[in-house]
Structure 1
Amino acid sequence: MERPVRIAVQLQPQHADYPQIRDAVARAEDAGVDVVFNWDHFFPLDGDPDGKHFECWTMLGAWAEATSRVEIGALVTCNSYRNPELLADMARTVDHISGGRLILGIGAGWFERDYREYGYDFGTPGTRLADLRQALPRIRSRWERLNPAPTREIPVLVGGGGERKTLRYTAEHADIWHAFGSLETIRHKSAVLDRHCADVGRDPSRIERSTAVRRRPEDVAEGLLDAGVTLFTIGSSGPDYDLDLMRRWVAWRDAR
C-alpha cells in the first residue's frame, strides 16, 4: 500500500491559556497541516513543572468544533486514566462532533506524577502493558455496540517501541504506529513490527508509520521515508506555539 506523506503538529497543552492554544490550532489548520495532536498528561513535561496545563479529551471535543478539515487526536492517550469502554464512548462522541476526523492515539502510560497526584495505580511497566493489551479489543468491541456507531472505522494509533509486547499489540490492533528513537532504531523496530504482522497474519503495509521530527526536512526526511515513515509530527509548546518548523515540513510535503 502506497501512503501519502502527512504532516502533523503536536500542540502541547502546557504553559498557555486556552485562547493561545485555540489560535495555534487555527494557524496550523490554515497552514495546511494534516493532523493536530495534543497529549494526555495533567502536568507540564518540561519547563515549570507546576505551570499551566489543560486536560486532553475535553480539549479534543472543543477542537472538533473549532476545526473543519484536519484530523485530531492525542499523541497519546494514557490507557490507565479511563475505563476502556468509557474511552471508546468518548472517542465515538468526538468522532461524531468532528464529522469523522478523530484518531485514537493510545499508549500504556509512563509519567508517574500523573498517576500519583490523580490517584491512579502506577504499577509496573509490565502491569501497564497488560492493561493496554486487554483494553484494545475492549475498545473495538464497544464501538461495535454503541448507538449511534462511529462515523467510520476510527484509526487506532499505538505509541511505543517495546519489541515483545507493544509492537505485538500494534500488529494486532493498530492502524498507525508512532515510533521513538533514532533512524537506526526506527528501522530496526519497524522490521520487528513486520515480523509480528507476519505472525498474526496482518499485512504490514496496513500500518502507517509515524514519528516525531525536530529537524528540518532537508536534514532527515529522506532517511525516514526510506525507513517507511510517512507521518511526521512536529511538537510545539505554549505560550507562543512557534509553527515555523511545521510550515517547513508542510512546504516540503507540497513540493514532493
Structure 2
Amino acid sequence: MTRPVRIAVQLQPQHADYAQLRDAVLRAEDAGADVVFNWDHFFPLSGDPDGKHFECWTMLGAWAEQTSRVEIGALVTCNSYRNPDLLADMARTVDHISGGRLILGIGAGWFERDYTEYGYEFGTAGSRLADLSHALPRIKERWARLNPAPTRDIPVLIGGGGERKTLRYTAEHAAIWHGFADLETLRHKSAVLDAHCADVGRDPGEIERSVAVRGNPGEIGEGLVAAGATLFTVSASGPDYDLSTLHEWIAWRDAR
C-alpha cells in the first residue's frame, strides 16, 4: 500500500490560555497540517510543573467543532484515566461532531503525578499494559453496539515501542503505530511490528508508521520515508505555539 506523506502537529496544552490554543489550532489547519494532536495529561510535562494546563478530551470536542478539514486526536490518551466503554462512547461522539475526523490515540500511561494527584492506581508498567490489552477489544465491542454507530472505522493509534507487548497490541488492534525513533530504531521497531503482524495473520501494510520529528526535514525526511514512515509529527508548546517547524515540514511534504 502506497500512503501519502502526512504532517501532524502536537499542540501541547500547557502554559497557555485556551484562547492561545484555539488560535494555534486555527493556524495549524490554515497552514495545511493533516492532523492536529494534543496530549492526555493533567499537568505540564516541561517548564513550570504547576503551570497552566487543560484537559484532553473536553478540548477535542471543541476542536471538532472549530476545525473542518484536519484529523484530530490525542497523542496519546492514557488508557488508565477512563473506563474503556466510556472512552469508546466519547470517541464515537467526537467522531460525529467532527464529521469523521477523529483518531483514537491510546497508550498504557506513564506519568505518575497524573495518577497520584487524580486518584488513579499507578500500578506497574506490566499492570498498565495488561489493562490496555483488555481495554482495546472492549472499545471496539462498544463501538459495535452504540447507536448511532461511529461514522467510520475509527482509526486506533497506539503509541510506544515496547517490543513484546505494545507492538503486539499494535499488530492486533491498531491502524497507526507512533514512536519516538531515530532512523535505525524506526527500522528495527518496524521489523518487530512486521513480525507480530505475521504472527497474528495481519498485513503489516495496513498499519501506518508515525514518528515524532525535530529538525530539518530536508536532512532526515527521505530516510524516514524509505524506512516506512508516512506520518510525521512536530510539537509546539504554549504560550506562543511557534509553528515554524510545522511550516517547514509542510513545505517539504508539498515539494515532494
Question: TM-score, length-normalised on structure 1?
Answer: 0.99
Say if 2:152 is the partner of 1:166: no
Q: Which residue is 2:35 aligned to?
A: 35
Question: Structure 2 CA distance, aligned partners of 1:255 and 1:29?
Answer: 18
1:68 partner SS: coil
Q: Which residue is 1:232 aligned to?
A: 232
Q: Which residue is 1:142 aligned to?
A: 142
Q: Which residue is 1:128 aligned to?
A: 128
Say if 2:198 is the partner of 1:198: yes
Q: Which residue is 1:18 aligned to?
A: 18
Residue 219 of structure 1, CA deviation: 1.5
Question: Structure 1 CA distance, aligned partners of 2:182 and 2:128?
Answer: 25
Question: Structure 2 CA distance, aligned partners of 1:214 and 1:12?
Answer: 15
Question: Structure 1 CA distance, aligned partners of 2:226 and 2:48?
Answer: 38
Question: Structure 1 CA distance, aligned partners of 2:242 and 2:76?
Answer: 21
Question: Structure 2 CA distance, aligned partners of 1:95 and 1:118?
Answer: 27
2:152 partner SS: coil
Say if 2:210 is the partner of 1:210: yes
Q: Which residue is 1:80 aligned to?
A: 80
- Counterpart code for 1:7: I
Residue 226 of structure 1, CA deviation: 1.1
Question: Structure 1 CA distance, aligned partners of 2:232 and 2:164?
Answer: 25
What does 1:36-55 correspond to in 2, within 5 Å?
36-55=36-55
Please give the per-residue CA displacement for 1:143-167, whole angstroms capped at 9, x wherever unaligned.
0000000000000000001100000
Residue 115 of structure 1, CA deviation: 0.3
- Counterpart code for 2:186: I
RMSD of aligned C-alpha atoms? 0.4
Q: Which residue is 1:254 aligned to?
A: 254
Please give the per-residue CA displacement for 1:179-237, whole angstroms capped at 9, x wherever unaligned.
12321111101000000000000000000000111111011101111110000000000
Q: Which residue is 2:183 aligned to?
A: 183
Please give the per-residue CA displacement for 1:25-73, whole angstroms capped at 9, x wherever unaligned.
0000000000000000000000000000000000000000000000000
Question: Structure 1 CA distance, aligned partners of 2:19 and 2:95?
Answer: 23
Structure 2: give runs of 5+ residues left out of the alignment.
Answer: none
- Counterpart code for 2:149: A
Residue 9 of structure 1, CA deviation: 0.3
- Counterpart code for 1:60: L
Q: Which residue is 1:223 aligned to?
A: 223
Question: TM-score, length-normalised on structure 2?
Answer: 0.99
Question: Structure 1 CA distance, aligned partners of 2:201 and 2:77?
Answer: 27
- Counterpart code for 1:134: H
1:103 partner SS: strand
Question: Structure 1 CA distance, aligned partners of 2:73 and 2:154?
Answer: 11
Residue 133 of structure 1, CA deviation: 0.3
1:89 partner SS: helix
2:11 partner SS: strand
Question: Structure 2 CA distance, aligned partners of 1:159 and 1:215?
Answer: 21
Say if 2:105 is the partner of 1:93: no
Structure 1: give runs of 5+ residues left out of the alignment.
Answer: none
Question: Structure 2 CA distance, aligned partners of 1:235 and 1:36?
Answer: 10
Q: Equivalent pairs: percent with the same residue? A: 82
Task: Give the ranges of 4+ consecutive aligned residues of structure 1 lying more than 2 Å apart after TM superposition.
Answer: none
Please give the per-residue CA displacement for 1:112-171, whole angstroms capped at 9, x wherever unaligned.
000000000000000000000000000000000000000000000000011000000000
